[in-house]
Amino acid sequence: MNIAATDYRSPQSYVALAVFLVLVIGIGALIGTQSVPGIWYENLAKPPLNPPNWIFGPVWFTLYVLIAIAGWRIWIKAPRSGAMRFWVSQMLLNWAWSPIWFLAQQPWLAFVVLVAMWLSIAGFIAVSRKHDALAPILFVPYIVWVSFAGYLNLSIALLN
């Protein structure tokens, strides 16, 4: 589809954006409230550069907004594309990580999920470019943060 021909300002487009925002932020928030750091996490040996717990909420909220907008932009232009499949897979892996880490207390399995998530994010960035100029850019802070999370996840798994 021609990038210039897409109208993101139609009423249907705004409804789709609202759905993406509510689902991504809502499900992320629900999982976040059910998968909070507890005694297990507090007692783990942490690597250098481990941020304070309060930073994760604002960072993830911001990233979820960017993720939702990127998904919405691809949905409007190419809902059955490989980019959309990558978007869905990274979202499912994203939502799976916290319960695996905090509830199941499985750092190594969480790391496997995180690597798969990183690959899905990278796949989205690579293939979404042919559909939209902005969507892959919106994922850059996300892949940077997930890379940092990979460092934290792997370090904690190795230290404990």
Where residue 37 falls among pLDDT bands split at 50, 70, 90? Answer: confident
Instruction: Single out the residue of 51, 123, 50 nearest to residue 86, CA to CA.
Output: 123
| Alpha carbon separation from 103 to 12, 31, 34, 74, 124 (Å, rounded) | 38, 11, 9, 33, 28
pLDDT for 4 beyond 60? no
Residue with tokens 């802070």: 141
pLDDT at 10: 84
Q: How far apart are CA 95 and CA 20, in angstroms?
A: 15
Which of 1-5, 8-12, 63-67, 77-81 has the least mean pLDDT? 1-5
- The whole-number average pLDDT for the span 97-124 is 98
- The whole-number average pLDDT for the span 118-144 is 98
Number of domains in the chain: 1
pLDDT at 5: 56
Instruction: Single out the residue of 129, 131, 124 nearest to residue 146, CA to CA.
Output: 124
Q: How far apart are CA 34 and CA 27, in angstroms?
A: 11
pLDDT at 3: 46
Where residue 150 falls among pLDDT bands split at 50, 70, 90? Answer: very high
Round the average pLDDT of the chain to a whole number and report it.
94
| Alpha carbon separation from 25 to 31, 93, 107, 108, 112 (Å, rounded) | 10, 15, 24, 26, 23
Neighbours of 42 (CB within 10 A): 9
Q: How far apart are CA 74 and CA 93, in angstroms?
A: 19
Q: Give the CATH number, domain containing residue 58.
A: 1.20.1260
Where in the sequence is the domain holding 85, given as residue range(s)?
3-159
